[in-house]
Amino acid sequence: MTTAGALLAPAVGRRPVTPVDAAVPETAIGINLSGLQTFNRQQVFANMIAQSEWFSSRGDGWTAMPQTQLDADGWVVRLAPGQTAPRPLVIPAAPFRPVAVRCTFGGSGELAAGGVARITGTTANSVDLELTPTGGEDEGAWIELLATDPADPLHDLDCRKAGTPREARFDPEFLTFLSGFRVIRFVDWQRTNDNAKARWSTRTRPESGSQVGAAGASVEDMVDLANAVGADPWFLMPYDADAAYIDGFAQLARQRLDPARKVYVELGNEVWNDIFDTAGQAEREGMALGLGGGDATRARMERYADKMVGAMRIWTRAYADRPDALVRVCASQHANPDLARIVLGHEGSARWVDALATAPYLWLDLDGYRSRDIDRVFAAMPDSLSRTWAMAEDNRAIAEEHGLRYIAYEGGQHLVTPDLDLARAVQRDPRMGDVYARYLEGWRRRFGDTLVLYATSAPIAEYGAWGLQEYAGQPASETPKLTALRRFQSEIR
């Protein structure tokens, strides 16, 4: 075995916890929640349709349901001749077996089922289903609205596994999965990267027909989830949110969140990142305002700083009587510490935040690698980890210059390749578990404080393998990242 191979041999049993210098804060492991969409293969809500929206079908594929055919809560009010409305159901967690589901509804309509769902019984206001998932990557289940009465449209459709209490909002397995995480970041639940204009009057509410629309999940659900699992929520204020939205969000969170919990708040997500529309918008606005001295990147980051301060002023007022319960976050690019210097050095913006956050990912350029090269990938991991920690040291030094905490808004592996055979081989290899064990222990020993990993559950795809598991309930033998994390959580508890 090579030296690199020896460094990455799978861990066996419990690892001794390395003593940490007293100056390093206690580590708090958090998690970014994957998007609620059904393709991420994790049931979150007890109602199995809360994670999807209506589609339109005329027998030749599905398209988006026109908004003109939906009421204010997202229920179909009419169908055109020859049109039906399919709606996906989230697949229950493994182990896969037949699952009985009852769908209840108000109003009048006719429902069918498809995919791995079949109807086993009907009444005037309910449909019984059996779901028979096998675990196939592309399998799905859906219920389909064949007819609805425009005078009394079908509404309040609720499909839940047999035996699930009617009052249950979240799936019990999902709540168990989140046990042990100290912080929950909601970037994908809020659909922050879509850069939608956020207005408080049109926000999603718990009673809305879907929690995956353009406005993201309801604030109430996010707060209630944090309360349910005893974690601190991390919210992202949309870049295009007006002051009324930010104030309404802050006030609701302040009133509804368990007083024992802290709340992290951040403006936008990765405003520095060119792949998101927000970056271009901030840059255009910054240049138009004469920021940055004519330098486009500096103008972008100074504009971010100004808008960040505006949002943090509102949250600071909301938490004026409990300032220690509020963690105001400035986020910056891990690999470019100069951006943090620009933001925190702009017109006293550092006074309005409590922490600098970056994303200390393990990254490799996998261009040219194939599945036969998996040993090369793992041999390169120690150098990747060293680079990650060196950049983290630079960012922590900037935070310390301004008297701020240094934390991580995202973290973990960042191995992206269109070669799915390579991606699957790397992500499922036992050595990935040892990589995570060393990554987590390195953070705990050198930096401490909050590390929010990315993310809960998602399939391996050409745009990344971000999930700690590929689907809910995946066996531990197939989830080396999650297995290593659970071991680490038990050791530091």
Helix (H) or strand (E) holding 424: helix 420-428
Cα separations in angstroms, 285 against 280, 341, 342, 429? 9, 20, 16, 46
> At 332, phi and psi to the nearest 5?
-145, 170
Query: Where does CATH 3.20.20.80 sit in the chain?
Result: 3-43+171-492
Interstrand relation of 85-89 and 141-148 (parallel, antiparallel or unpaired): antiparallel
Q: Return the residue matching tokens 């980051």.
A: 301
- Which of 173, 182, 203, 209 is closest to 191 using CA atoms? 203
Q: What 3-state DSSP class applies to 185?
A: strand
Confidence at residue 187, expressed as pLDDT on a 0 to 100 scale: 98
The CA distance from 473 to 42, in Å, is 9
pLDDT in tens, the chain (493 residues): 333 333 333 333 444 555 667 689 999 999 999 999 999 999 999 999 999 999 999 999 999 999 999 999 999 999 999 999 999 999 999 999 999 999 999 999 999 999 999 999 999 999 999 999 999 988 999 999 999 999 999 999 999 999 999 999 999 999 999 999 999 999 999 999 999 999 999 999 999 999 999 999 999 999 999 999 999 999 999 999 999 999 999 999 999 999 999 999 999 999 999 999 999 999 999 999 999 999 999 999 999 999 999 999 999 999 999 999 999 999 999 999 999 999 999 999 999 999 999 999 999 999 999 999 999 999 999 999 999 999 999 999 999 999 999 999 999 999 999 999 999 999 999 999 999 999 999 999 999 999 999 999 999 999 999 999 999 999 999 999 999 999 999 999 8
Q: Whose structure tokens read 């006030």?
A: 251
pLDDT of 11: 38
Q: For residue 262, give the nearest of 215, 302, 315, 213 by alpha carbon.
A: 315
pLDDT of residue 493: 83
Q: In what order do the strands lie in the sheet with 126-131?
A: 117-123, 126-131, 99-106, 155-161
Contact by Cβ (8 Å): 173, 99: no
Q: Would you state the pLDDT for residue 22? A: 63
Query: Coil, helix or strand for 56?
Result: strand
Q: Write the DSSP string, 61-116.
A: -EEEPPGGGB-TTS-B----TT-BEEEEEPPPPSSP--EEEEEEEESBEEEEEEET
pLDDT digits (tens, 9 = 90+) for 226-264: 999 999 999 999 999 999 999 999 999 999 999 999 999
Residue 21: its pLDDT value, please? 72
Whether CATH 3.40.50.720 fits 3-43+171-492: no
Q: Which pLDDT does position 137 carry in this prediction?
A: 87
**β-pair partners for 233:** 184
